[in-house]
C-alpha cells in the first residue's frame, strides 16, 4: 500500500538512495510561521529530525530561497500533505512536492496533476479548497486537439456504449483512432466481478467513522485497485440520501445527512482520482427507493433539492469529479437523464461541472436527452441486448437533420475525452485484465493482484465505523473472559463460502456487504467466529457457539454460566433486481432478520451479560430488547467488508477504542421517520413520491417534531469520556479578498448571482469563521472524540432546528486536552433562495452548538455579524 511506498522512499529502497538530498529551488513556504507549524507537526508525527528542522523553525523559509533538506524530512511533509492531517500547506510547497517528490512516491501521475491545480489542496483539511479549473482547462485543450479530425460518427461513438455484455467491463466505450476506449466498472466498494481485489467496508460504514483521513485513504486504495485492473471509470461513490430508512441501497451511500454525505463523497473522490481512476458520482438524483425505481417521480421542491439532495453532488464537483451518473427515476415528472433543470442548469451551469454525465444502465429514455445535458449512454443499447441505441446512429441522424446541434455532440465528446486526459489516462494506463461477464475465462482474466495491504484500511475502517451504543457494568471491552458464547448465524461463515450468492444476493451467515451492483467478490471473509477464537487462543478463554437462530430454547440452555453471551444479528438490503426473503431491494420492514429480536431476548433471559453485535445495512427498531437489563452492551458494527470479523473483535476487546458515530437516526418506531417507502403501482404507472417532508429528513424531523429517538444521529460512546470547554469563534479576515464585493453583498443578505459556477465559487466556500474549543479526555484510556458542529438558523430561515455543518476527529490521551478548530464557510451559513436562485445568508442571528451528537450539545455560540 501507499505507506509502504513512503517507507521505501524513506529507507532509501526506492532506488534513489538514502543519502540523496533535495534542493528546494522554489521555497516551500512563503511565511515562516506557517512553515514552522508544518514542520512541528511533522516532527511530532515522525520523530525528531536534525538540524534543518531547527533551521526552518527558527527562520521559516522565504520564497526564492534555496536550501538543502534531508529527503526524510521532505517525504515526511509529503506524507502529511497527502494523507492527513490538519496541515496548512501552501501553494509553493505543494507545487514543489508535486514537481520534485511526487514522481518518486505518488501512486499515480494524477497526484502531480491534482496538487498542481491552483489552490493546491492535498490534505484532508477541509479548510483547503482545491480549484481544478486549470487542470480542466488543460484537459479541454488536449481533448479539442485530439478530436480535431474526428468525424461526426466517430464523436458519437465516444458517447455511446458498445451494448450490454459486449466488452470486458459492465460499461465500455469503443476504441477510436488513437483513443483506446474506456472501461467503466462498478462498484463503490470494490472492483466488481474481479478477483484479487479488496472488498472494502460499505459507504455507510465508512461514513460512520466521521474520519476524513480514513475516508480519503479508502478512496485512494479503491482508486488504485480500479486502475490496477485497467478500469478507467469507477462507478462510485454512490451518495443518495437515505431519505427512507428502508431504502435498499442506502448502505452504498454515506447516511442521512447531506453535509456528512457531501464530505464523505468529497474525500472519497479526491482519494479515488488520486489513485488514477475517474470517479463517477451517482445517482443524480433522488433514486431514494428501489421499488418501481424506473417508474417513480420524485417530486421535490427547489430548495430541498439544493440544500439536501444535490449538495453531495456539489461537493463532488468541488472534489474535481470526472463523471456523474444520472438516475433511473423521474424528478418532477421528467426522467433524470432527460432533465434539463438538473443536468444543464444545476450541475453544469450552477456547479460549473466540466466532466460528463452518463446514464445509469438503461436509464436513457430519448435521443433528445443529449439536449438536456446527457453526454454518454450506458451500457449503450436501449434495453439490455436490444442492439439499438438512443445515441449511436440515432444521435448522428438527429444532428444530420438539424434537430441536435453539431456543437452539442462536440461538447459531449470533448467532455468525455477531457475526463480521460484530466486523469492522465492517455499514457501508461493498464489494460483491462478481468472479464465482468466471464470471471472464469482464462484468456481475458489475467488475475492481476491489486490488493496490496489494503486489508489494513478495511480493518481500521471496520473498527472506526463501529458505533458503541450501550455499555453498562463495564461489559466492554472484554478482558480475558473465562468463557464466551457466540450466538446467531451472523457470527459465522456462509454455508457455501463468502461468495455463495451472485452479487451477494442472499444472507445466511455473517453479513459484511449488501447486495446488487454495489458489491464485489470477497477474496476471503474473516467472520467474528474466526476473529474471536484467535483472541481466545491468546487469552486462554473458552469459546462456544450456536449458529441456530431459531432454536431459542437451546440457545437459552447453552448461554447459561458463560461470562458473556455475544448475540450477532443482521439486516440486509440491496438493488431491485434481486429479491431476498421477500425484500425487493428495499427492506420490507425495519426488524432484525433471522429471528434476531427473539434470539436476543431468549439469551438475555438466561445470561446477565448479553452483548449484542449488529451488522445492519441501516437503522433497525431495537425496542424489543434495548432496555433489557441483561443486555449490557450493543456494538452497531454496520457492514465491514472482508475484515469485518477482525474489526468487531478489535472493538469488543478494546484494541480499538470505539469512535464511530451513527450516520442516521435509530427511531423507536418506524412511523417516527418522516418519510416511508412508497409501494404499489403496476404496469406503466408512474408512482408519485412526494418529498413533502422537505428539509426535514432524519434528525431534522425528530428535532422539529420533538420526537425522541432511541439513538440520535451522531451518537456513539467510547471506552473513555471527554469534556468540552472554552468555545470561541472569530471571523477570518476577508478585507483584501479579490471577491470583496461579492462577499459584501452576501453579508448584506443578497443572494449569490446567477452565473456559471456560482454555487461552487471559491469565495463562497472558503473558511469565513473559525470555531475553536478544547476537548479533554477525562477517562483512563486514549480515545478519539468526534466533535460535531451544528448551526441553528434564525426563525426567518424556516430551517430545521439544527443542521450539521462541521465535524472532526480528535485523538486525546488520558488527562490531556486538545485544542480543536472547525471552520465554517459562507455557504455553510446560507440557505437557497428559490426566487433569487442563489445562496443567501438568512436575516437574524445565527447560532451554533458544538457537541457529541445532534442532541448532545456541549458548547454554544453566536456567529459574529
Ligand atoms: C446501478 C448502477 C450501476 C449500474 C452498472 C445499475 O443497475 O443502478 O449503480 O453502476 O447498474 O452495473
Q: Which atom of ligand 1 is nearest to the CA of 328?
A: 8
The string of DSSP codes covering 73-95 is HHHHHHHHHHH-------HHHHH
Which residue has the least CA distance to atom 6 on ligand 1? 361
Grid cell of 98 as nine digits: 508535486
Q: What percent of the chain has pLDDT over 90?
A: 83
Whose alpha carbon is nearest atom 8 of ligand 1? 360
Burial class (CB in 10 A: 0-12, 13-18, 19+), 285: buried
Ligand 1, atom 4: closest residue by C-alpha: 361
Residue 358 has pLDDT above 60, yes or no: yes
Report CA(269)–ligand 1 centroid distance (Å): 18
For 812, the grid coordinates are 486525546
Query: Is the CATH number 2.60.40.10 carried by domain 720-862?
Result: yes
Phi, psi torsion values for 111, nearest 5 degrees: -55, -50
C-alpha cell read off for 450:
491489486
Ligand 1 nearest-atom number relative to CA 238: 9
Residue range 506-525: mean pLDDT, rounded: 97
pLDDT of residue 141 exceeding 50, the answer is yes
Burial of 788 (0-12, 13-18, 19+ CB in 10 A): buried
Nearest-atom number in ligand 1 for the CA of 280 is 10
List CB contacts of 454: < 8 A, sequence separation 6 or more: 1, 198, 200, 221, 225
> Catalytic residues, which ones?
360
CA 192 to ligand 1: nearest atom: 12
- Asked if domains 454-662 and 720-862 share a fold, the reply is no
Cβ–Cβ contacts within 10 Å for residue 467, how many?
28
User: 160-207 pLDDT, tens per residue?
Assistant: 999 999 999 999 999 998 899 999 999 999 999 999 999 999 999 999
449 HSE (CA, 13 A, CB side): 5
DSSP per-residue string spanning 177-212? TTB--EEEE--SSS-TT-SS---PPPHHHHHTT--H
Pairwise CA distance, residues 452 & 465, whole Å: 22
Decide the pairing of beta strands 334-335 and 330-331. antiparallel
Q: What are phi and psi of 743, to 5 degrees?
A: -65, -45
Atom of ligand 1 minimally distant from the CA of 171 = 5
Q: For the chain, what are the domain ranges? A: 135-423, 454-662, 720-862
Decide: helix, strand or coil at residue 668: coil
Angle between helices 212-228 and 71-83 (to 10 degrees): 100
Determine which of 126-135, 209-218, 244-253, 681-690 has the lowest per-residue pLDDT on average.
126-135
Instruction: Give the pLDDT score at 323.
Output: 98
Q: Indicate the length of the chain as a whole number.
A: 865
* pTM of the shown model: 0.88
Nearest residue (CA) to ligand 1, atom 9? 517
| In 410-482, beta strands by DSSP E | 467-471
Instruction: Assign 738 a pLDDT band (cuts: 50, 70, 90).
Output: confident
pLDDT value, residue 125: 75
Tell me: the pLDDT tens digits for 422-438?
999 999 999 999 999 99
Question: What does each C-alpha distance from 790 to 205, 302, 711, 714, 825 come to in angstroms?
Answer: 22, 23, 17, 11, 13
Mutate to test the pocket of ligand 1, among 186, 284, 364, 516 (most ligand atoms within 8 A of CB): 186
Atom of ligand 1 nearest to the CA of 252: 9
Mean pLDDT of 702-724: 98
Spacing, Cα 137 to ligand 1 middle (Å): 30
Give 361 Cα–ligand 1 centroid separation in angstroms: 6
Determine the atom of ligand 1 nearest the C-alpha atom of 282. 9
- Measure 186 CA to ligand 1 centroid, in angstroms: 7
Cα(326) to centroid of ligand 1, in Å?
11
Say how far apart CA 280 and CA 316 lie, in whole Å.
Answer: 9
CATH architecture of 454-662: 3-Layer(aba) Sandwich (3.40)
Is a pLDDT exceeding 90 seen at residue 133?
yes
Q: Please list every protein residue whose CB sits less than 6 Å from any atom of ligand 1.
A: 170, 186, 235, 282, 360-361, 517
Ranges of beta strands (E only) in 420-539 are 467-471, 483-487
Three-class SS state of 812: strand
Helix residue ranges per DSSP H, 280-336: 302-304, 311-318
Which atom of ligand 1 has the smallest separation from the CA of 517? 12
Q: Which pLDDT value is given to residue 201?
A: 98
What was the pLDDT predicted at 76?
Answer: 53
Nearest atom (ligand 1) to Cα of 235? 10
Instruction: Give the Å distance between the CA of 396 and the centre of ligand 1.
Output: 26
Phi, psi angles (nearest 5°) of residue 350:
-65, -45
**Residue 258 near residue 307, CB atoms below 8 Å:** yes
From CA 723, how far away is CA 852, in angstroms rounded?
10
User: What pLDDT score was predicted for residue 124?
Assistant: 64
Whole-number Å distance, alpha carbon 667 to ligand 1 midpoint, is 30
Contact at 8 Å (CB) between 234 and 277?
A: yes
pLDDT at residue 737, rounded to an integer: 80
Residue nearest to atom 12 of ligand 1 (CA): 517
Distance 504 CA to ligand 1 centre (A): 15
Cα torsion for 294, 296, 301, 307, to the nearest 10°?
A: -50
Select from 3.20.20.300, 2.30.30.140, 3.40.1790.10, 3.10.310.10 the CATH code of 135-423.
3.20.20.300
Indicate the pLDDT class of residue 39, thresholds 50, 70 and 90: very low
Going by their DSSP bridges, the two strands 564-571 and 610-616 should be labelled as: parallel
Q: How far is the CA of 517 from the centre of ligand 1 (A)?
A: 6
Q: Which of 239, 237, 238 is closest to 258 using CA atoms?
A: 239
Output the residue whose Cα is nearest ligand 1's atom 11. Answer: 361
Contacting residues for 556 by C-beta, under 8 A, at least 6 apart: 602, 603, 605, 606
352: left (phi over 0), alpha (psi -120 to 50) or beta: left
Alpha-helix runs per DSSP H in 319-454:
340, 369-372, 392-400, 406-422
Q: Which of 168, 194, 235 to mutate to test the pocket of ligand 1 (most atoms within 8 A of CB)?
A: 235
The model's confidence at residue 109, banded by pLDDT at 50, 70 and 90, is very low
* Spatial CA neighbour of 640 closest among 529, 526, 533, 549: 526
Which of 379, 384, 517 gets mutated to test ligand 1 (max ligand atoms within 8 A of its CB)? 517
HEC profile of 39-56: HHHHHHHHCCCCHHHHHH
Q: Say how many Å lie between the CA of residue 286 and the centre of ligand 1.
A: 15
Averaged pLDDT of the chain: 89
Question: Does residue 56 carry a pLDDT above 60?
Answer: no
For ligand 1, atom 3, name the residue with the nearest CA.
517
Q: What CA–CA distances, in Å, run from 254 to 243, 359, 602, 822?
A: 12, 22, 34, 21
| DSSP three-state, residue 772 | strand
Confidence of residue 78 (pLDDT cuts 50, 70, 90): low
578 CA → ligand 1 middle, Å: 13
pLDDT band per the 50, 70, 90 thresholds, residue 733: confident
Res. 74 pLDDT band, cuts 50 70 90 = low
pLDDT exceeds cutoff 60 at 856: yes
Strand order in the sheet with 182-185: 171-173, 182-185, 233-234, 278-284, 323-326, 356-359
Give the whole-angstrom CA distance, residue 67 versus residue 60. Answer: 11
Is residue 165 packed enough to be buried (19+ CB in 10 Å), middle (13-18) or exposed (0-12)?
A: middle
Collapse the DSSP code of 838 into the 3-class scheme (helix H, G, I; strand E, B; otherwise coil) and give the result: strand
pLDDT tens per residue across span 545-558: 999 999 999 999 99
Amino acid at each position: 500500500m501507499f505507506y509502504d511506498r513512503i517507507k521505501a522512499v524513506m529507507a532509501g529502497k526506492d532506488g534513489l538512495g538514502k543519502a540523496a538530498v533535495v534542493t528546494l529551488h522554489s521555497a516551500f513556504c512563503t511565511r515562516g510561521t506557517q512553515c514552522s507549524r508544518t514542520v512541528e507537526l511533522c516532527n511530532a508525527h515522525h520523530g525528531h529530525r536534525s538540524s534543518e528542522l531547527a533551521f526552518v523553525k527558527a527562520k521559516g523559509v522565504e520564497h526564492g530561497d534555496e536550501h538543502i533538506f534531508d529527503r526524510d524530512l521532505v517525504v515526511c511533509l509529503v506524507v502529511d500533505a497527502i494523507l492527513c492531517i490538519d496541515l496548512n500547506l501552501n501553494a509553493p510547497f505543494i507545487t514543489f512536492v508535486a514537481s520534485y517528490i511526487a514522481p518518486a512516491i505518488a501512486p499515480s501521475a494524477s497526484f502531480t496533476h491534482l496538487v498542481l491545480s491552483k489552490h493546491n489542496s492535498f490534505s484532508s483539511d477541509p479548510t483547503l479548497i482545491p480549484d481544478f479549473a486549470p487542470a480542466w482547462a488543460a484537459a479541454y485543450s488536449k481533448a479539442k486537439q485530439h478530436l480535431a479530425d474526428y468525424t461526426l460518427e466517430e464523436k458519437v461513438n465516444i458517447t455511446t456504449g458498445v451494448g450490454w455484455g459486449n466488452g470486458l467491463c459492465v460499461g465500455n466505450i469503443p476504441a477510436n483512432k488513437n483513443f483506446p476506449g474506456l472501461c467503466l466498472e462498478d462498484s463503490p466498494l470494490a472492483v466488481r466481478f474481479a478477483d484479487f481485489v479488496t472488498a472494502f467496508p460499505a459507504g455507510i460504514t465508512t461514513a460512520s467513522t466521521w474520519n476524513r483521513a480514513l475516508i480519503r485513504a479508502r478512496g485512494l486504495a479503491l482508486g488504485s485497485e480500479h486502475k490496477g485492473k485497467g478500469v478507467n471509470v469507477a462507478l462510485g461513490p454512490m451518495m443518495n440520501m437515505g431519505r427512507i430508512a428502508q431504502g435498499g441501497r442506502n448502505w452504498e451511500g454515506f447516511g442521512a445527512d447531506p453535509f456528512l454525505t457531501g464530505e464523505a463523497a468529497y474525500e472519497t473522490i479526491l482519494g479515488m482520482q488520486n489513485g488514477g481512476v475517474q470517479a463517477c458520482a451517482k445517482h443524480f438524483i433522488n433514486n431514494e427507493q428501489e421499488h418501481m425505481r424506473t417508474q417513480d417521480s420524485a417530486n421535490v421542491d427547489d430548495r430541498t433539492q439544493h440544500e439536501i439532495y444535490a449538495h453531495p453532488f456539489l461537493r463532488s464537483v468541488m472534489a474535481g469529479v470526472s463523471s456523474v451518473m444520472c438516475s433511473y427515476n423521474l424528478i418532477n415528472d421528467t426522467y433524470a437523464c432527460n432533465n434539463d433543470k438538473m443536468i444543464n442548469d444545476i450541475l453544469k451551469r450552477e456547479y460549473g461541472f466540466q466532466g460528463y454525465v452518463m446514464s445509469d444502465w438503461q436509464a436513457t429514455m430519448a435521443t433528445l436527452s443529449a439536449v438536456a445535458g446527457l453526454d454518454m449512454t450506458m451500457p449503450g443499447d436501449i434495453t439490455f441486448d436490444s442492439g439499438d441505441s438512443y445515441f449511436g446512429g440515432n444521435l448522428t441522424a438527429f444532428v444530420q437533420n438539424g434537430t441536435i446541434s453539431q456543437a452539442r455532440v462536440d461538447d459531449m465528446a470533448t467532455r468525455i475525452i477531457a475526463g480521460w486526459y484530466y486523469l492522465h489516462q492517455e499514457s501508461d494506463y493498464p489494460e483491462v485484465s478481468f472479464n465482468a461477464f466471464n470471471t472464469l475465462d482464462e484468456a481475458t482474466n489475467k488475475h492481476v493482484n491489486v490488493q496490496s495491504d489494503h486489508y489494513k484500511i478495511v480493518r481500521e475502517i471496520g473498527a472506526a465505523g463501529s458505533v458503541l451504543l450501550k455499555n453498562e457494568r463495564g461489559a466492554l471491552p472484554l478482558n480475558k473472559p473465562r468463557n464466551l458464547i457466540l450466538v446467531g448465524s451472523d457470527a459465522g461463515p456462509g454455508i457455501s463460502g463468502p461468495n455463495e450468492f451472485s452479487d451477494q444476493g442472499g444472507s445466511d451467515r455473517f453479513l459484511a456487504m449488501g447486495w446488487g451492483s454495489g458489491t464485489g467478490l470477497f477474496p476471503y471473509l474473516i467472520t467474528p467466529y474466526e476473529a474471536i477464537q484467535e483472541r481466545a487462543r491468546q487469552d486462554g478463554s473458552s469459546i462456544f457457539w450456536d449458529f441456530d437462530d431459531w432454536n431459542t430454547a437451546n440457545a437459552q440452555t447453552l448461554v447459561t454460566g458463560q461470562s458473556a453471551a455475544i448475540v450477532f444479528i443482521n439486516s440486509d438490503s440491496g438493488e431491485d433486481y434481486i429479491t431476498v426473503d421477500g425484500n425487493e431491494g428495499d427492506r420490507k420492514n425495519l426488524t432484525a432478520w433471522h429471528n434476531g429480536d427473539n434470539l436476543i431476548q431468549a439469551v438475555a433471559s438466561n445470561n446477565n451479560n448479553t452483548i449484542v453485535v449488529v451488522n445492519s445495512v441501516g437503522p433497525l427498531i431495537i425496542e424489543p430488547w434495548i432496555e433489557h437489563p441483561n443486555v449490557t452492551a450493543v456494538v452497531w458494527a454496520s457492514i465491514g467488508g472482508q475484515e469485518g470479523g477482525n474489526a468487531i473483535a478489535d472493538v469488543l476487546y478494546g484494541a480499538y477504542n470505539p469512535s464511530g458515530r451513527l450516520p442516521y437516526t435509530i427511531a423507536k418506531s418506524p412511523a417516527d421517520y418522516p418519510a416511508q417507502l412508497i409501494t404499489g403501482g403496476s404496469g406503466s404507472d408512474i408512482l408519485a413520491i412526494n418529498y413533502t417532508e422537505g428539509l426535514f429528513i432524519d434528525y431534522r424531523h425528530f428535532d422539529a417534531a420533538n420526537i425522541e429517538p432511541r439513538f440520535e444521529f451522531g451518537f456513539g460512546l467510547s471506552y473513555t469520556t471527554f469534556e468540552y470547554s472554552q468555545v470561541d469563534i472569530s471571523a477570518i479576515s476577508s478585507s483584501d479578498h479579490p471577491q470583496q464585493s461579492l462577499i459584501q453583498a452576501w453579508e448584506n443578505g443578497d443572494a449569490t448571482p446567477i452565473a456559471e459556477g456560482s454555487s461552487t465559487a471559491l469565495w463562497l466556500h472558503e473558511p469565513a469563521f473559525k470555531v475553536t474549543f478544547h476537548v479533554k479526555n477525562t477517562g483512563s484510556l486514549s480515545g478519539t472524540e468526534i466533535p460535531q458542529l451544528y448551526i441553528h438558523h434564525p426563525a426567518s430561515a424556516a430551517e430545521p432546528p439544527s443542521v450539521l455543518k462541521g465535524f472532526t476527529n480528535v485523538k486525546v490521551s488520558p488527562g490531556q486536552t486538545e485544542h480543536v478548530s472547525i471552520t465554517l464557510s459562507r455557504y455553510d451559513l446560507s440557505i437557497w433562495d428559490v426566487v433569487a436562485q442563489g445562496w443567501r445568508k438568512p436575516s437574524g442571528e445565527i447560532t451554533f452548538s458544538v457537541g457529541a451528537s445532534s442532541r448532545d450539545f456541549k458548547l454554544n455560540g453566536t456567529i459574529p455579524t
